[in-house]
């Protein structure tokens, strides 16, 4: 896992074409997100490509400083970031953050996104007293999976699904945010950027298991996020689970509080091996919406006979 370095953000008042920066909203391993105003003085969120691993900013110069040894990787990542903006700008889904514009400036790239009002699922979990209701969880995740299906249909992976990247509008509808890790198209590897992940929510294949990444990788993140809604904290990290899996299954931990269907779904999504997880979000949507509860079946967890003695304990 890469350690994040704080990078100096653009100061308030900075102009980026027709946009004016008001303040920094957040900073991650690949980018800084700002609240800004457009030419009509409407609020927008602007994400600046600025990977802490490769770049720094100092003084009043808005251009990032990139070492010669990192320039090729920085440029490759920026091209992927810009192409991602191109793809996401084509998405107009109520449960995926809306990209309004994308452009290059200051020797880097920017995505302009619709500014959403509300709070993250992580904030909601922290501030909510008592356990989250199952109807709330189902409603949020059924809609969220609609957005994730749309992302996957455009041959993109999110690769950083977690409560902090799920925004709840004031009406309670979720929006999938921060595609900062979406640098990998389905089946296309990018060595410079695939290592970024969030412990507890990243799938084993993001942490060195050797298995391929795909839609099932995001599905692990969905399961881990569901688990965290119940636990009110991140589950055991996949790299530790690979050494010794001490994660208590949801079906055991919350069998008296939530339905077996929901709990088995979480455990299914969080299987360590990719072939044991759902391969697409379609079945998850059906189960969460209550349309196909008969899908929740012990056969989900069956493995070849020779492996049952160890895997099914």
- CB neighbours of residue 235 within 10 Å: 22
Does 108 share its domain with 144? Answer: no
247 & 273 share domain: yes
The domain boundary residue, chosen from 114, 129, 153: 114
Instruction: Identify whether residues 108 and 129 lie together within a single domain.
Output: no
Please report the pLDDT score of residue 96 as a whole number. 93
- Domain co-membership, 52 together with 67: yes
User: Is pLDDT larger for residue 179 or for residue 46?
Assistant: 46
Whole-angstrom distance, CA of residue 13 vs CA of residue 114: 19
The mean-pLDDT minimum among 1-5, 222-226, 272-276 falls in: 1-5
Whether residues 233 and 291 fall in one domain: yes
Does position 276 have pLDDT exceeding 90, yes or no?
yes
d(CA 63, CA 65): 7
Residues 143 and 226 placed together within one structural domain of the fold: yes
Residue percentage of the chain with pLDDT more than 70: 85
Same domain, 43 and 174: no
The whole-number average pLDDT for the span 39-60 is 90
13 compared with 77, residue with greater pLDDT: 13
Per DSSP, 205 falls in state G
Q: What is the pLDDT of residues 109-166, one digit of tens each?
A: 999 999 988 899 999 999 999 999 999 999 999 999 999 999 888 888 888 899 999 9
Check whether 60 has a pLDDT greater than 60: yes
Q: Are 283 and 258 members of one domain?
A: yes
Q: Which domain holds residue 290?
A: 118-298
pLDDT level of residue 306 (50, 70, 90 thresholds): very low
Together in a domain, 175 and 252: yes
Query: What pLDDT, on the 0 to 100 scale, is given for residue 169?
Result: 93
Residue with more model confidence, 101 or 31 = 101
Considering the domain boundaries, does residue 311 fall inside one? no
Of the pLDDT bands very low, low, confident and very high (cuts 50, 70, 90), residue 192 is: very low
Q: What is the dihedral of CA 204, 209, 210, 213, to 10 degrees?
A: 0
**pLDDT over threshold 70, residue 12:** yes
Tell me how far apart the alpha carbons of residues 86 and 100 are, in angstroms, rounded to a whole number.
10
**CB-CB contact of 40 with 27 (8 Å):** no
Domain count, the chain: 2
> To the nearest whole number, what is the mean pLDDT of the chain?
84
Which of 63, 98, 114 is the C-terminal boundary of a domain? 114
Inter-residue contact 64 to 53 (CB < 8 Å): no
Residues 142 and 239 in one domain: yes
Q: What is the CATH number of the domain that holds 67?
A: 3.30.200.20
């Amino acid at each position: 896992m890469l350690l994040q370095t704080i990078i100096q953000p653009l100061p308030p008042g900075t102009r980026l074409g027709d946009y004016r920066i008001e303040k920094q909203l957040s900073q991650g391993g690949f980018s800084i997100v700002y609240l800004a105003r457009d030419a009509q003085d409407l609020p927008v969120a602007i994400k600046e490509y600025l990977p802490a691993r490769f770049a720094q900013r100092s003084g009043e110069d808005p251009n990032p400083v990139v070492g010669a040894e990192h320039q090729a990787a920085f440029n490759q990542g920026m091209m992927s970031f810009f192409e991602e903006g191109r793809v996401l700008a084509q998405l107009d889904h109520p449960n995926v953050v809306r990209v309004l514009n994308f452009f290059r400036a200051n020797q880097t790239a920017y995505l302009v996104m619709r500014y959403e009002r509300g709070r993250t699922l992580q904030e909601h979990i922290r501030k909510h007293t008592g356990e989250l209701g199952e109807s709330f969880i189902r409603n949020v995740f059924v809609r969220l999976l609609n957005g994730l299906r749309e992302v996957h249909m455009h041959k993109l992976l999110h690769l950083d699904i977690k409560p902090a990247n799920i925004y709840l509008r004031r009406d309670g509808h979720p929006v999938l945010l921060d595609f900062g890790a979406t640098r990998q198209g389905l089946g296309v590897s990018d060595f410079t950027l695939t290592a970024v992940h969030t412990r507890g929510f990243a799938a084993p294949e993001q942490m060195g298991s050797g298995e391929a990444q795909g839609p099932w990788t995001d599905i692990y993140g969905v399961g881990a996020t569901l688990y965290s809604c119940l636990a009110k904290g991140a589950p055991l990290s996949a790299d530790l689970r690979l050494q010794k899996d001490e994660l208590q299954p949801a079906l055991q931990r919350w069998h008296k509080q939530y339905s077996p269907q929901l709990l088995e779904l979480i455990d299914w999504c969080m299987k360590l091996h990719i072939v044991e997880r759902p391969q697409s979000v379609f079945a998850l949507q059906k189960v969460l919406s209550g349309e196909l509860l008969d899908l929740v079946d012990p056969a989900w967890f069956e493995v070849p006979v020779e492996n049952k003695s160890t895997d099914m304990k």
